Amino acid sequence: MRYIMLLIYNVEPTAIGPPLMHRAKKRFGQNFLHDRNIINRIVQSISPSAEDHLVEIGPGQGAITQELLKIAGKLEAVELDRDLLQPLAERCANLGRLQIYNSDALSFDFRQLVSEENPKPLRLVGNLPYNISTPLLFHLLEQADSIQDMHFMLQKEVVDRMAAKPGSKTYGRLSVMLQAWCKVEPLFDIGPGAFHPAPKVDSGFVRLTPYTTPLYHIKDQRLFSQIVTQAFSQRRKTLRNSLKKMLDDTVFEQAGIDPSLRAERISLEEFVNLADKAWKTGQMS
């Protein structure tokens, strides 16, 4: 993995106040948080301490970074935009120990941050770029064994999908896959005016807590993922039609699931049961 690591100590601090002079870059999906009330609510929700292993994804201009450092005294951050690295370090100087990795979070190995020197699981925080939020969530899900919890700002529509229940229009692959491995808690909504530049959509703040003991024992996780993905790939089709190349009616019968239903009507437990019956019959491997 290619990244730049910066350790900053005793740099003359920049006063906390107006945002740094930096033009937001559309290709990075940058919308910088500046609303003090929202920042305070976020920090209160995270409830950081000096004992935590905090990692911020996309610290940007440091609105949340500074507040976390004041309390915890140390923080690691992953930031892709090189132009923000030095200004961020200067803005956070003397607030604590800030270690910045110049890397793309989509390819960053977060597990490497858990080491003998700092063995505690990660508490991830971030204002995730809306254009990469879903693939980034799946990337983090693969590393959930190293994560204590995650607190993210995301497009409200994405938060709604993450927490959706069967039968709703927002229920889909993201709902099932996240809820299989994490407790999903939408905390509060955030209006466009809290950011600069203001996005065209509302945002939401959400907490994800990976289960130490999974809700369900999934016999073949890859197969489970394949079935869920395929089932939601054509939402208007019935399960029988969307999964006809993967499963026959015998599996549906053994799982006690009506194949004439659409995927949005199937609960997480039923998807697990369907995947396990497919695994047991050897239809998929």
CATH of the domain at 266: 1.10.8.100
Query: 125 and 53, same structural domain?
Result: yes
Same domain, 145 and 248: no
With respect to residue 158, please indicate whether it lies within any of the assigned structural domains.
yes
Global pTM value:
0.88
Q: DSSP strand E in the chain: where?
A: 4-8, 32-33, 53-57, 74-79, 97-102, 122-127, 147-155, 182-190, 195-196, 203-210
Confidence of residue 40 (pLDDT cuts 50, 70, 90): very high
CA distance 54 to 110: 12
First to last CA, the chain: 31
In a domain, 216, yes or no: no
Domain presence at residue 85:
yes
H or E segment at 141?
Answer: helix 133-141
Considering the domain boundaries, does residue 20 fall inside one? yes
Rg, Å, the chain Cα set:
21
> Quick check: 202 and 156 in contact, CB under 8 A?
yes
Indicate if 163 and 227 belong to the same structural domain.
no
Total domains in the chain come to: 2
pLDDT for 125 beyond 90:
yes
| 111 and 15 belong to one structural domain | yes
Confidence of residue 284 (pLDDT cuts 50, 70, 90): low
Q: How far is CA 282 from CA 53, 78, 173, 251, in A?
A: 43, 42, 23, 10
Alpha-carbon distance 131 to 211, whole Å? 27
CATH number at residue 129: 3.40.50.150
| pLDDT recorded at residue 12 | 34
Q: Is 71 a domain residue?
A: yes
Average pLDDT, the chain: 88
Inside any domain, residue 163: yes
Whether the pLDDT of residue 14 is over 70: the answer is: no
Tell me: pLDDT of 101 over 80: yes
